[in-house]
Structure formats: C-alpha cells, structure tokens
Amino acid sequence: MDRFEAMAMLVQVVESGSLSAAGRLLRVPVPTISRRISELEAHLGTKLLVRTTRRLSLTDSGIAYLSAARRILEQLGEAEKEAAGEYTTPKGELIITAPLMFGRLHVLPVIADFLAQHPEISVRLLLGDRNIHIVDDHVDMAIRIGPLPDSSLVASRIGSMRTVVCGSPALFGRHGEPRRPEDLQRLPCVSFDLLSPSPLWQFQDRSASPQPVEVAVAPRLVVTTADAALEAAIMGVGVTRLLHYHTTRAQEAGKLKLVLADYEPPPMPVHLVHAERGQMPLKMRRFIDFAAPRLRERLAATQSE
C-alpha cells in the first residue's frame, strides 16, 4: 500500500464531501478510493471514516489523522519543490484565484505579461466571486477585495475599491435620478447577492455623520454574479450596486451612470494574499514582485476614472 497515495485520497474525500466527488477530481474509480482508504484503516487498526448512504463523517481518530496527513502531505510537497529546484530557480505551476470579473479584466493581463518573461512558470487561474480556501484548496495566492478576517495569511495591500450605485440613462429618464439613498425605495433595483446579501444597502452621509445609513430596498431582480447585475442594469431592469471596476467600461460607453457618489461607503481594501510559509518558492516571490506594482497601477487608474 502506498500510504502517501492513501493519505491524499482520504484528504480529497473529506474536502470533496464524498467518494464520488473525490473520484471525479482525482480521476480515480470510486471502488479504488474506497479500497485504498479501507487498506489504510486496516493498517492503522482503527476506523477513520463513517460512511452511510447519505453522508460521510470522520471518527475522532479520523479527525486527528486527517490533520497529521495534511501536514505530512504539505511537507512532502515542499520537499519535492525544493528537490525540483523551485527554491533556487523560478519554475513550476502557480495556482492563483481572483474574483471573476476583476480577474478577467485586471489579473489576466498581468499574468500574460508575467508568463512572457518567465517561460519555466505556468499559471492556473481560478476565477470566481466566492472565496476559495487558500490552504485547503492548495492555492498559492489570491486577490481578495474587502476586509480580511484575522488569519495566518500574509497580505500585501495593492489598493482600494469603491462601492457604487449605477443605472442606465434610460431608467433615470423614466424615473429620475436618486438624490439621496432613501430615493432608492421608489426605484426598481437589481441586487448582486454576494455584495448585498441583505435587503439593506449601506451608505455614508459624509456631510452629516460618519455613521452608516441603511436603506431597505425591494429588488425586482436578485442575481448571483456581478456580470449579470451589470447587464441587467444596462438593460434598464433597475438600479444596482457594484464595485467600481465592474462599471468602468459601461460608463465609458455611456450605458451606465453613477449616482449617489456623495453617499458612498468607505472604499474596500484590495489585497494580494498567500499562506504563511518558512521559505517561499521563487516562482511566488517573482510573481508578487512583478504583479503587485502593476495591480496597484491598474487599481489607481480605475479609482481615478
């Protein structure tokens, strides 16, 4: 039995939530995964997983073993990288995650320039508006927009991002432009549920008080991606609230107009983050040194538009 292989399968099963999901990700038949885990349990003399037709859970022994297995596999991965020369030569694969539209508009061009200068480095770019867990999902670096929770992650601030309210000129021609946040209650609205998970949209009246102003809106449409909210606003479905970079191109084309600029909440920080590690592979150091100043420039240009 290859114990490292069995450990990796166990970790993937737990992270995926099922044997079948792990099998799809690993491209290994489910009976093979089940057999490897059973062999591991027989070798250890204890049960690690409790499997039923509906769910999968770890035993107490399984919880302790899973933690140790993750640590061992991480150390093995670091040893392999060192042996392959990733700490002395910038080479290997980088896994980077970023928000969907921000990644496409801003991170991808930077990566393209980076790859042109580093032929021995490859990049896997994971785009999505919901955060991926950096350690559990084996991600090297991530772009995070918004306050960072307390964690062991190492963060480099690369800028800030405004939260704006916008709508189509045609919509404002029919309903009039809102002058105060309360005016949104008489307008049709489109809500992007990741940015506005509740019906309360927060603003700040800079002329009166630093305290936030909350306005209850009744969205005509709720969507799960910024792209969809942007397109709905352009089509005149309603006023929406997005991050500033979402709207830049549509503004330039005259398809959207920003409103309530005097009531915007404080800009959200944008960070390039990675897990804390004793020694950083050169591919990561080279990417941080290359990407951070370029992303700062792009963010600064977006904020000044």
Superfamily, domain 163-263: Periplasmic binding protein-like II (3.40.190.10)
> CA 232 to CA 184: how far, in whole Å?
16
Compute the average pLDDT of residues 142-166: 88
The topology under which CATH files domain 92-158+268-304 is D-Maltodextrin-Binding Protein; domain 2 (3.40.190)
What CATH number does the domain located at 3-83 have? 1.10.10.10
Domain boundaries, the chain: 3-83, 92-158+268-304, 163-263
Look at 168 and 64; give whichever has higher pLDDT: 168
> CA 194 to CA 204: how far, in whole Å?
20
Look at 3 and 219; give whichever has higher pLDDT: 219
> CA 202 to CA 180: how far, in whole Å?
12
Which of 71-80, 142-151, 271-280, 281-290 is most confident?
A: 281-290
- Between the alpha carbon of residue 281 and those of residues 108, 121, 135, 140, 284, the distances in Å are 21, 11, 16, 10, 6
Instruction: Find the distance separating the first CA and the last CA of the chain, reported in whole Å.
Output: 60
pLDDT > 90 in the chain, percent:
43
Where does the pLDDT of residue 164 fall: very low under 50, low under 70, confident under 90, or very high at 90 and above? very high
pLDDT at 277: 66
Q: Does 163-263 match 92-158+268-304 at the fold level?
A: yes
Q: Are 273 and 134 in contact (CB under 8 A)?
A: yes
Is the whole-model pTM more than 0.85? no
pLDDT > 70 in the chain, percent:
91
pLDDT of residue 62 exceeding 70, the answer is yes
